[in-house]
Amino acid sequence: MEAGGKSTGQTPQIGGNPFDPANDDGYRCWRDLKLAAPSLPPDDLVVEIRDLEHPTTTERMALLERIRRANMALYHCKLTEHRGAVLSFAEHFGLFHLDHNPAAADDGLSAIQVHAERQQGEFISYTERALRWHTDGYYNPPERRIHAFILHCVRPAAEGGVNRLLDPELLYLRLRDEDPDLIAALMHSAAMMIPAHIENGIELRPEQCGPVFSVHQADGRPALHLRYTARTHSIRWRDDAATRTAVARLEALLADPVPGAIEYRLEAGEGILCNNVLHSRSAFQDGTPDGRLLYRARFHDRITSS
Ligand SMILES: [Fe+2]
C-alpha cells in the first residue's frame, strides 16, 4: 500500500486508493480535503441554467464545482418537456452511456409517473408511495452499474414528492471513522444479494450479489460507488457477524435526522444531476389533471469534472 497524506505545495496529494480500509494515510488526507469544504445548503446547490440543451461554460463550471464537493448539483431552468434536452444536457457532463432498463423508453429516458398497474417491488417509483433510501440500479449486474443519474421535473405533484439526497462519501466517512472494519465488511463481494425478480414463473431479472461500497476509476482517480437499498424485503445480507454489525451501523446512520442530507422538492424545470447519490422520496398526492411527471436518465458513466 502506498503511503499518502504528504503535502506538495498547497494541495495535499492523496496516496493510493483512500477508500481502501487498509490505507489509513491516504484516507486521512482524503478526509481532510473532504471536510475542508463545508456542506452546501440546498439553495446553494441550485444553478440557474438558461437553456438546458446548451449550458454555458459558466453554468457548466458552476454545476461541476458543486458535484466535486457534494457529488450532486441541482439546476433550475425554464420549463421544458423536451426529452432530448435532458439527454443533450447530460452529454455536457460526459454522460453518454444510458442504462436501457425495461422501464425506459427507446431514447433511454424513464417517465416517472403514477402507473396503476405497477405497484410492487422496484416499481414503487411509479406509485404515490414514499421511497426509502437507495441508490439507483442496486439490482443491476456489475457491467451495468449506475454511476450517475439525472432526475428532471416536468410537473411536480400537487403535494409532497420531496427528495432527500445524501452524498455517499459522507456515509462512507462516518462509517470509516467509527471502524474501518465496517467498511471492509460492506466491500465484501457477497455483502448484499438481491434475489431474482420472478413474475408468473418467469425470471425477469437474475439475482445479483455484490458489495455495498466499491471503488472505480474515474478521471484518473479512485471513485467511490454505493450500492444500497433500505428496503427490508427481497434483500439478503451476507450471513456473518461483521456484515450484520456493519448493516446495523449503516441503518443507524440513515435514521432521522441524517446530518448532511439535503431535502428538496423539485419544481417544474428543475432537476438533479449527480453521481448516483443516496436518495429517498416522500409520498405525494397528484391532484392535478396530468399528474406528477419526472424524466429519469441513468448512466453507466460517472460525471467527468474536467
Ligand atoms: Fe431512485
DSSP 67-80: HHHHSEEEEE-S--
Task: Using the mean position of ligand 1's atoms as its centre, give its distance from the Cα of residue 13 in Å.
Answer: 34
Task: Using the mean position of ligand 1's atoms as its centre, give its distance from the Cα of residue 14 in Å.
Answer: 31
Task: Using the mean position of ligand 1's atoms as its centre, give its distance from the Cα of residue 48 in Å.
Answer: 24
Task: Using the mean position of ligand 1's atoms as its centre, give its distance from the Cα of residue 165 in Å.
Answer: 10
Question: Position of cell 453507466?
Answer: 300
Task: Using the mean position of ligand 1's atoms as its centre, give its distance from the Cα of residue 300 in Å.
Answer: 15
What is the pTM for the complete model shown?
A: 0.92
Beta-carbon neighbours within 5 Å of ion ligand 1: 136
Give the side-chain half-sphere CA count within 13 A for 40: 20
Domains of the chain: 15-260+269-299 (3.60.130.10)
For the chain, 306 residues long, give each residue's pLDDT as a single digit of tens: 333 334 444 556 777 999 999 999 999 999 999 999 888 888 899 999 999 999 999 999 999 999 999 999 999 998 666 789 999 999 999 999 999 887 788 888 999 988 766 544 557 888 889 999 999 999 999 999 999 999 999 999 999 999 999 999 999 999 999 999 999 999 999 999 999 989 889 998 899 999 999 999 998 899 999 999 999 888 999 999 999 999 999 999 999 899 999 999 999 999 999 999 999 999 999 877 789 999 999 999 999 876
The C-alpha atoms of residue 227 and residue 230 are separated, in whole angstroms, by: 11
Task: Using the mean position of ligand 1's atoms as its centre, give its distance from the Cα of residue 124 in Å.
Answer: 10
Residue from 133, 7, 153 nearest 77 by CA: 153
Task: Using the mean position of ligand 1's atoms as its centre, give its distance from the Cα of residue 155 in Å.
Answer: 17
Task: Using the mean position of ligand 1's atoms as its centre, give its distance from the Cα of residue 276 in Å.
Answer: 8
Task: Using the mean position of ligand 1's atoms as its centre, give its distance from the Cα of residue 133 in Å.
Answer: 8
The CA–CA distances, whole Å, from 174 to 170, 177, 178, 223 equal 6, 5, 6, 17
Residue from 301, 65, 262, 36 nearest 164 by CA: 262
